[in-house]
Amino acid sequence: MQPPPDSKPGLERVLGPVTATAIVVGTVIGSGIFKKPAAVAADVPFFGVAISAWILMAGLVMCGGLALAEVTALFPRAGGNYVFLREGFGRAFGFMWGWIDFTVIRTASIAALAVIFAESLHDLVRQLRRSPDEVFSFWQVYGLALGTILLLGLVNVCGVKWGGGLQTLLTFIKLGGMLAIALLPFGIIRFVEGAPTPSTANYEPLWPTADQPFNIAKFGSILIAILWPYHGWQNLGPVAGEVKNPQRNLPLALLLGIAIVAVMYLSLNFAYASVIPAAEMAKLKGQSVAAVFCNKLLGPVGGALAAGVVMCSVFGSLNGNILVGPRQLFAMGEDGLAPKGLSAIHPTFRTPARAIMVYTVWSMILLFGGALAVYISRQQGKKIPDPFDLLTDFAMFGAVVFETLVVASIYVFRRKYPAAPRVYKCPGYPVVPAIFVLAFLGVLASYFVNEEKAIQATSGVAFTLAGAAVYYLFLRQPDNA
Instruction: Catalogue all structural domains in the chain, each as residue range(s) with its CATH number.
Output: 19-475 (1.20.1740.10)
Spatial contact of 79 and 330, defined as CB atoms under 8 Å apart: yes
- Per residue in 440-464, pLDDT (tens digit) is 998 888 888 777 778 878 888 888 8
Cβ atoms < 10 Å from Cβ of 475? 15
What confidence category does residue 215 fall into, taking pLDDT thresholds of 50, 70 and 90? confident
Among the residues of 130-284, which ranges form H helices?
138-157, 160-183, 217-230, 246-275, 278-282
- Per residue in 128-165, pLDDT (tens digit) is 887 677 788 999 999 999 999 999 999 999 999 999 99
Q: Provide the pLDDT for residue 190.
A: 52
> Average pLDDT, stretch 23-35?
92
> Average pLDDT, stretch 357-366?
96
The four Cα atoms 367, 371, 374, 376 give a dihedral, to 10 degrees, of -140
* Rounded distance between C-alpha atoms, residue 288 and residue 171, angstroms: 20
Q: 35 vs 160, 282, 353, 416, CA distance in Å? A: 31, 11, 34, 43
Q: Provide the pLDDT for residue 251.
A: 96
Q: What percent of the chain has pLDDT over 90?
A: 62
What's this model's pTM, rounded to 2 decimal places?
0.92
| Closest by Cα among 315, 294, 372, 365 to 120 | 315
Identity of residue 404: T
Q: Provide the pLDDT for residue 175.
A: 95
Q: Provide the pLDDT for residue 354.
A: 96
Q: Provide the pLDDT for residue 320.
A: 95
Say if residue 22's pLDDT is above 80.
yes
Q: How many CA atoms lie within 13 A of 421 on its CB side?
A: 5
In the DSSP assignment, the letter for residue 236 is: T
Question: What's the mean pLDDT when you consider all of the chain?
Answer: 89
Which of the given ranges, 262-266, 463-467, 475-479, has the highest pLDDT on average?
A: 262-266
Among the residues of 380-450, which ranges form H helices?
387-416, 431-446
Q: Provide the pLDDT for residue 99.
A: 94
Q: Provide the pLDDT for residue 92.
A: 94
What confidence category does residue 401 fall into, taking pLDDT thresholds of 50, 70 and 90? very high
Q: Provide the pLDDT for residue 433.
A: 98
Q: 293 vs 189, 229, 261, 275, CA distance in Å? A: 14, 19, 20, 7
Q: Provide the pLDDT for residue 286.
A: 67
The four Cα atoms 141, 145, 151, 155 give a dihedral, to 10 degrees, of 140
Say if residue 300's pLDDT is above 70.
yes
Spatial contact of 78 and 331, defined as CB atoms under 8 Å apart: yes
What DSSP assignment string belongs to 245-262? SHHHHHHHHHHHHHHHHH
* Rounded distance between C-alpha atoms, residue 413 and residue 77, angstroms: 16
What DSSP assignment string belongs to 311-361? HHHHHHHHHHHHHHHHHHHHHHHHTTSS-GGGG---TTT-S-HHHHHHHHH
* Rounded distance between C-alpha atoms, residue 249 and residue 164, angstroms: 15
Spatial contact of 167 and 22, defined as CB atoms under 8 Å apart: yes
Q: Provide the pLDDT for residue 344.
A: 94
Q: Provide the pLDDT for residue 293.
A: 92
Say if residue 63's pLDDT is above 60.
yes
> Average pLDDT, stretch 327-332?
95
